[in-house]
Structure 1
Amino acid sequence: MTVTHTATRLRRAGSSGPAVGTAAVLACLVLWELAARGPLETAPFPTVGALVTSLLGLLASTSFWSSLGQTLTTALVGLALATGGGILLGMLLGSVEFAYRSTRLIIEILKPIPPIVIMPLVLLLLGPSTEMGVVLVFYGCLWPILIQTIAGVRDADPVLVDTARSFGFGTVQRAVRIVLPGAAAFIVTGVRIAGSAAFVIAVVSELVGGAPGIGRALFVAQGAGLYADMYALVVVMGTVGLFFHNGLRALERRALHWHPSVRGEVAP
């Protein structure tokens, strides 16, 4: 099969993607309606009509948009802090062998600990606040960015580094001009992985920890028995999470448009 035929098939598959996705969503809505009017009729499970009504009511509410804005702020601020801290610390640990070996065990111990485990401690220190959510997002997002940055720095071509050193480049110049561009693909991958978790961690910090945001609105709706609103909020969370992920993917393609791994996604 020629490259042209392969590219044509890829373009056709990509063009049919939205139609297939729309059909899948419609099928899920039909199954939802059948379940709500059938085996789950006596359960707190709203029909599609009630779900849409609640969703429209939420979209017309200023408190909903305020809660959503607080959740997005928590996720983005925590992710930004984790990105900056992870890159700086990863550059240091990846460049200095002694620092890497000294902290490797600590990183291996801390990275498997989920943010929800340290939530009681952070909640005790900061209370149910936005700052608490930011700290949890920062903690959860730091590790993939840090680990990917270290891997990218240690993967730097030693020939290029030695050549730059022979031309009189200082440590900072070598890091900025040689090591960082070479590690960019690793770093962006880490940011994308962390970004997918940032919104989830922010919602969990609000749902469990009581921080202000859409997660707490979900908890209040559940406690008040507003099940249609509760499911509508779940739909909103899923939709926002999808846009969050796609936005990070677009940012990755834009930031690494020159990298072979990204250029390979676009068929010639």
Structure 2
Amino acid sequence: MKGSRGLLPLVALLAGWQLMGDPASIALPPPAEWFRSLAELHADGELVAALAETLSTYVLGLALAVITGALTGAAIGSSRHLDRALTPSLDFVATVPGAALVPVAVLLLGTGRLTGVLTVAFAVVWPILLNAVTATRAIPAVRLETARTLGFSRVERWRKFVLPSLTPAIVLGTRVASSIAMIVALLADIFGTGHGIGRLLVERQQNLDAPAVWGLLLLVGTFGHLTAAVLARVEAHLLRDWQRSDQ
């Protein structure tokens, strides 16, 4: 409900824009024109194809980042030697903006879907990895020692004690990474790794098709908002469960 109320200023802005906007404007057409352009793109099949390509790059890259970041972060956090040796370098690499990686990735790997997926994964893995490192460090040593004394195998200790403790941190890192992942996926399209929404945006901008550009931006923003809202709810639910189990 609070999130819905927070959208009221945006809704009011769009309503005012619709009332006062000029349908003939080449830069600021009213929202009704955006939806008309989106409907035309959908009828032509361009919108569905572009959306599917961008979303597949986004989902595959984010999934690869979650798996890699969680496992690597847990391994680093559970080893003092790895922690001391790698964390300073990881902190440095994590400060590099994801957008800056796209042209470098295209230069090294060429164009194509795989380049987009790997670029998204590398750009967004850091908040997940560093959160996993911190969460692993925070697991009380006595808990793992008790599990070892009770005869739990290494795999059982990880499954029953380590991974449940990491889940809230990984979900938080994923929520942070999700918005970055969409930006990088769009930039990857623009730099030629695919024919997704980013490429469609550039083509429509070059054709001075302002309604389509605004409509595509609204579509991307809506997806980002819904994704963030879902992940925030998942994070809150997991955090409540984790706090209850930790008591």
Report the CA distance between 1:101 and its aligned residue: 0.7
* Paired position in structure 1 for 2:135: 152
* Paired position in structure 2 for 1:61: 44
- Distance in 2 (alpha carbons) for counterparts of 1:117 and 1:160: 42
- Distance in 2 (alpha carbons) for counterparts of 1:135 and 1:231: 28
2:77 to 94, 97, 103: 94
Report the CA distance between 1:155 and its aligned residue: 0.3
- Distance in 1 (alpha carbons) for counterparts of 2:17 and 2:183: 24
Instruction: Kindly report which structure 2 residues correspond to 1:75-86, keeping only aligned pairs within 5 A, or say none.
Output: 75-86=58-69
Question: In structure 2, the residue corresponding to 1:46 is in which secondary structure?
Answer: coil
Report the CA distance between 1:235 and its aligned residue: 1.0
Unmatched tracts of structure 1, length 5 or more? 1-13, 262-268
Report the CA distance between 1:108 and its aligned residue: 1.6
Question: In structure 1, the residue corresponding to 2:167 is in which secondary structure?
Answer: helix
Structure 2-normalised TM-score?
A: 0.88
Shift of the 129–97 alpha-carbon distance from structure 1 to 2, 3 Å rule, reads same
Instruction: Kindly report which structure 2 residues correspond to 1:18-167, keeping only aligned pairs within 5 A, or say none.
Output: 18=4, 20=5, 23-33=8-18, 36-37=21-22, 44-167=27-150
Report the CA distance between 1:17 and its aligned residue: 5.8
1:129-155: per-residue Cα shift (whole Å, max 9, x none)? 221211111012110010010111100
- Distance in 2 (alpha carbons) for counterparts of 1:46 and 1:216: 21
Shift of the 45–115 alpha-carbon distance from structure 1 to 2, 3 Å rule, reads same
1:169-214: per-residue Cα shift (whole Å, max 9, x none)? 3333222221221222112211221123212221122124453210
Q: 8 Å contact 1:128–1:212 — kept in the other structure? A: no
Q: 8 Å contact 1:132–1:211 — kept in the other structure? A: no
- Distance in 2 (alpha carbons) for counterparts of 1:200 and 1:73: 14
Q: CA RMSD in A?
A: 2.4
The share of aligned pairs that are identical, in percent, is 30
- Distance in 1 (alpha carbons) for counterparts of 2:226 and 2:41: 18
Name the larger-Rg structure. 1
1:95-145: per-residue Cα shift (whole Å, max 9, x none)? 111011111121022110112222222102332322121111101211001
Q: How many matched pairs?
A: 244
Question: In structure 2, the residue corresponding to 1:259 is in which secondary structure?
Answer: helix
Structure 1-normalised TM-score?
A: 0.82
The answer to whether structure 1 residue 194 and structure 2 residue 177 are counterparts is yes
* Paired position in structure 2 for 1:9: none
Q: Using the TM superposition, name which of 25-34 and 235-244 deviates more.
A: 25-34
Instruction: Kindly report which structure 2 residues correspond to 1:174-213, keeping only aligned pairs within 5 A, or say none.
Output: 174-213=157-196
2:201 to 218, 221, 226: 218
Q: 8 Å contact 1:82–1:138 — kept in the other structure? A: yes
Q: 8 Å contact 1:67–1:214 — kept in the other structure? A: yes
- Distance in 1 (alpha carbons) for counterparts of 2:90 and 2:48: 38
One-letter amino acid matched to 1:126: L
